[in-house]
Chains A and B, each alone.
Chain A
Amino acid sequence: MKDWLTLIRPGDWLVMLGSAALVGASIPVFWQGGMADRAIIRQEGKVFAEVDLKARKQFAVAGPLGTTLIAVEPGRARVVSDPGPRQYCVKQGWLMRPGEIAICAPNRVSVQITGRTKIYDSISY
C-alpha cells in the first residue's frame, strides 16, 4: 500500500481532489432541474401561494371538502392532512425534487416543487 502511495505525485493529489470536488459540484447541476427551489400551491387551478423552500411554514388551503394543510420546510414540502377520501396526496409524503407534485383532487388542491429550470412532464402537455 505504501509503495503505491509513492507513485502519486503532489500534482496528482491536486488533480484527484479537484476532480472529486468537480464531481461533487456536478451532482446538483445535472440532477433534474437543479435543487428544489420553490413550492407552488394551487387551489382550483389558480396559484394560491408560491413559497421559497427556505423557512418552515404551514398553509391552510380551503377547498370544497374542507381544509388541506400543507407544510413547507427547507428543501421540501408535503401535504399534512386533507379531507379527501383516499389520502393519496398525504401518503406521497415529502416532495423534494423539482417536478414532483402532490394532487389532492377531491379538494382541488395541489403542491408542486419547482427548481431553477422548468421541468415538463406528461401533465404539462
Chain B
Amino acid sequence: MTQLAVTEEDRRVAWLATAAVGLSLVDAAIPSPLPGVKPGLANIVTLVVLARYGWGTAVWVSGLRVLAGSLLLGFFLAPGFFLSLTGTTLSLLTLGLARHLPKRWFGPVSLSILAAFAHIGGQLLLARAWLIPHDGVFLLTPVFAGAALVFGTINGLIAAKLLAETPPSETADV
C-alpha cells in the first residue's frame, strides 16, 4: 500500500482553505439585496495567501474553497458553481498579473478591487453566454460594479490590516 506523503505545504493549504470555506459560509448567510451582490469575505484569505505564500498557493486555496464551499452549500455543479468557478478563475488570473505591480504603490486594496472587478466581470460574461442569453443581463452592470468596488475596498483593507498586524510565521516565497 502506498502512503501519500503529506507535506507542510499541504497542511497549510488545507488550513487556509478551511478558513476560506468558513468565510464562504458566513458570506452565504448574509442576506443580499440582489443575487450576485455578496461581500466575498473568502477573498480576504486569498489576498493574504497571495501576499504570504505566492500565487500557486492562492490558486490551491481558492480552488478548494470553491469546491468545498459548493459541496457544503449544496450547489456543486449547479449554475452557481460554474459562476463561482468562472469568477474565481478570472480574479486569480487578474491577481497573477496585478501582483507584479510595484509594491510601494499598490497594496492589497488595489489587488482586491481589481480581483473583485474581474470576478463580477467573469460572472456576467458567463451569465450572458450561458444562463441568460440576452443583453438585458448587463443592465445591472453598474450595480454589480459599484458593489465590487465597495466590497473590494473593504476586503482589501481587512487583508492589508491582517498582513500588517501578523508577521509572517514562515518565509514568504513571493
Contact = CB atoms under 8 A, between A and B. Distances in A.
A31 B149 contact: no
A5 to B, nearest CB: 9
Contacts of B164: 7
A10 interface: yes
Nearest to B145: A23
A15 interface: yes
Interface bin, chain A: 10 to 19
Contacts of A14: 110
A11 B141 contact: no
A44 to B, nearest CB: 33
Interface in A1-60: 4, 7-12, 14-16, 19-20, 22-23, 26-27, 30-32
A10 to B, nearest CB: 5
B142 A23 contact: yes
B75 interface: no
A31 B142 contact: yes
Contacts of B157: 4, 7-8
Contacts of B113: 12, 15-16, 19
Interface string B100-111: 011011111110
B40 to A, nearest CB: 15
Which applies to chain B's interface (DSSP): helix, strand, loop or mixed?
helix
B139 A32 contact: yes
B105 A10 contact: yes
Nearest to A10: B105
A4 B162 CA distance: 11
Interface in B140-170: 140-142, 145-146, 149, 152-153, 156-157, 160-161, 164
Given A19-B117, A30-B139, A32-B139, A11 B145 contact: no
Nearest to A20: B149
A20 B109 CA distance: 14
B138 interface: yes
B49 to A, nearest CB: 18
8 contacts: A7-B108, A9-B105, A9-B110, A15-B110, A16-B113, A16-B149, A20-B149, A22-B145
Interface of B: 101-102, 104-110, 113-114, 117, 138-142, 145-146, 149, 152-153, 156-157, 160-161, 164
The 9 closest A-B pairs by CB, nearest first: A11-B105, A11-B106, A7-B160, A12-B109, A15-B110, A9-B107, A30-B141, A27-B142, A23-B145
